[in-house]
Amino acid sequence: MIIGGFNSVDLNLLNSELNAKEFNLRCDSENVYNRKIFVGNGRTAASYVLKNAVHLTHNDVILLPDYLCVSVINSLQVCDAQLRFYRVKKDLSIDLDDLKAKMNDDVAMIYVIHYFGFPMSREVQACMLSLKKKYNAVIMEDLTQALYSTEKDCIGFGDYITASIRKWTPVTDGGMLAIRDDVNCKEVKLANAYDEAVYKQLMVSLYRDYYDKHSDLDINRYLQVENEANKARYIDFTPREMTLESQKIFFNIDHAALVKQMRDNYSFLYDELKNVDGLKLVTPELDSEGKYVPFGFFVLVEDRDSFYNYLIENRIIPVIQWELPLDYYHPGEDARYLSNHNVMIYCDDRYGTKEMKIIADTIKNYFGGK
């Protein structure tokens, strides 16, 4: 058995009919994001905006958090704008003093990421809206890690919302762009859905099923297939349609059940591991109201590489969020620390208490031997 890694395609849902293409953002409490475009992935949702709505030149600046994935940068390079970076603290909050210091009349877009399912604070939202008004900038809000979360005045305030659907559900591809009702955005025909990334993601699904049934196989071969699929996704940032197959799965999935299982799994791990010496839990205990839906179980470990390799040896596949793209900028000390010490462990709805107990026991054994 493998725990973690990419989702396998859900063949049962793939057999279903595509009736209605409806997905309501839980953060849209005021019902102001009624235009949604479903594309191949979250990054092409961002490039769609820059190609068709916000036309930036080399004199313009996009302001980004310094804790991010290189694919965010790549997706924004479809335009000629300069990139400038504001700092993120070790607790994943925004350094508002640094954000304000980086703003000026050249900033045309502020990009914000809600990390691991936990929205930014009301203070951040108020600050960004104030800066948007003062400098006539637009806000692009990345909900890739907070697709199902909600918190009034903390999330769902951007002119544009982008998110990766593929990272939450058993599909080969999928991203979403939600456009605020009062924003002018030209809608254009999307390119053909099928490309190398879709094919490689399907191959991951086949490999995964095979490796799940053969515990004696070297897991490194499977990890190589995942890595190749991930790279293929960031070669072409052309906004493409979401494949029909992935639409069938996404629009027929039981989203409420997904949310509940994610929360249950995260809470189990949190309770089991919150007092383990050597393991720092950055994201908090879940709220009782069901507002926060974790993207994964995010932890910091001093000897991250040793811990990561130990999990792999035990067929638990985590992910590092992220190796910072140092060729593009000089991140702050806190962002570097997060990058060098983090591991995110999958706790999605594929799993239940049985798998979470395996994860918790494996981690306890690692730190118990120190």
Task: Please list the alpha-helical segments (H only) found in 117-236.
Answer: 122-135, 196-213, 219-232
Which pLDDT value is given to residue 8? 86
pTM of structure: 0.94
From residue 240, give the alpha-carbon distance in Å to each of 23, 187, 191, 317: 19, 13, 4, 29
Domain residue limits at 94 = 4-9+17-179
Reported as half-sphere exposure (CB side, CA atoms, 13 A), residue 244 has a value of 6
Q: How is residue 196 annotated by DSSP?
A: H
Please check whether residue 81 lies inside any domain of the structure: yes
CA distances for 258 relative to 130, 245, 300, angstroms: 35, 19, 26
Alpha-carbon span 295 to 147, nearest angstrom: 8
Predicted confidence at residue 235, as pLDDT, reads: 82
Helices (H) and strands (E) in the chain, counts: 12, 12
DSSP E strand boundaries for the chain: 3-4, 35-39, 61-65, 82-86, 107-113, 138-142, 160-164, 175-179, 280-281, 297-300, 316-317, 342-345
In a domain, 78, yes or no: yes
Q: For residue 215, give Cα distances in angstroms to 211, 347, 348, 356.
A: 6, 21, 21, 19
What's phi and psi for 109, nearest 5 deg? -145, 135
| 258 found inside a domain | no
Residue 221 to residue 227: CA distance in whole angstroms: 10
pLDDT score, position 223: 92
Looking at the domain assignment, is residue 323 inside a domain?
no
Whether 312 is covered by a domain: the verdict is: no
- Give the Cα-Cα-Cα angle 169, 227, 93 (nearest 5 degrees): 65
CA–CA distance, 270 with 130 (Å, rounded to integer): 36
Query: What pLDDT is recorded for position 205?
Result: 87
Question: Residue 24 is part of a domain; what is its CATH number?
Answer: 3.40.640.10
The candidate with the shortest Cα–Cα distance to 336, out of 97, 141, 85, is: 85
Q: Is residue 95 part of a domain?
A: yes
Q: Is 136 part of a structural domain of the chain?
A: yes
Number of domains making up the chain? 1
pLDDT of residue 369: 57
Bridge partners (DSSP) of residue 280 are 300
- pLDDT means per 10 residues, the chain with 370 residues, are 89 88 94 96 95 95 97 95 98 98 97 97 97 97 98 96 95 96 92 92 88 88 90 87 95 96 98 96 96 98 97 96 96 98 97 98 88
How would you list the strands of the sheet with 280-281, edge to edge?
A: 280-281, 297-300, 342-345
| 97 lies in some domain | yes
What does residue 108 show for φ and ψ, rounded to 5 degrees? -100, -20
Using an 8 Å Cβ cutoff, are 192 and 54 in contact?
no
Residues 6+ apart with CB under 8 A from 257: 349
Contacts (Cβ under 8 Å, ≥6 apart) of 189: none
Strand partners, 83: 62
DSSP assignment of 247-269 equals HHHHHHS-HHHHHHHHHHHHHHH
Contact 108, 62 (CB under 8 A): yes
Q: Tell me if 60 sits within 8 A of 82, measured CB to CB.
A: yes
